[in-house]
Amino acid sequence: MYGDLALYFAECATDFTMCYGDIDEEFYDALGDAYHDAVVIAKGDEKLYKLWKNRLEYVVHEFSGFGWGMDDYITGEYYSLPWIEEGQ
């Protein structure tokens, strides 16, 4: 399933960033695109969202306070899910 692969890519790219530090804009664009794709797919299927919930939250947590706009972008994507209320 593409959504699972996209989320896995976002998780791996997040881990890579946390291990090796700042990368480049193209890298973050790819990470953001993959996370976005996973969120779009999860929006259409609440069961899938529940299955991926911890994984989606992991990426949000890791990018919290990161800067370069990634924390805002990832957080915005996550809170666009219909089952999430900001502040949860």
Question: pTM of the prediction?
Answer: 0.91
Give the domain ranges of the chain. 2-79
Query: Going by C-beta distance under 8 Å and a sequence separation of 6 or more, which residues neighbour residue 46?
Result: 83
- What's the pLDDT tens digit per position in 32-74? 999 999 999 999 999 999 999 999 999 999 988 776 788 999 9
- What's the pLDDT tens digit per position in 23-36? 899 999 999 999 99
DSSP-assigned letter for residue 87: T
d(CA 42, CA 88): 18
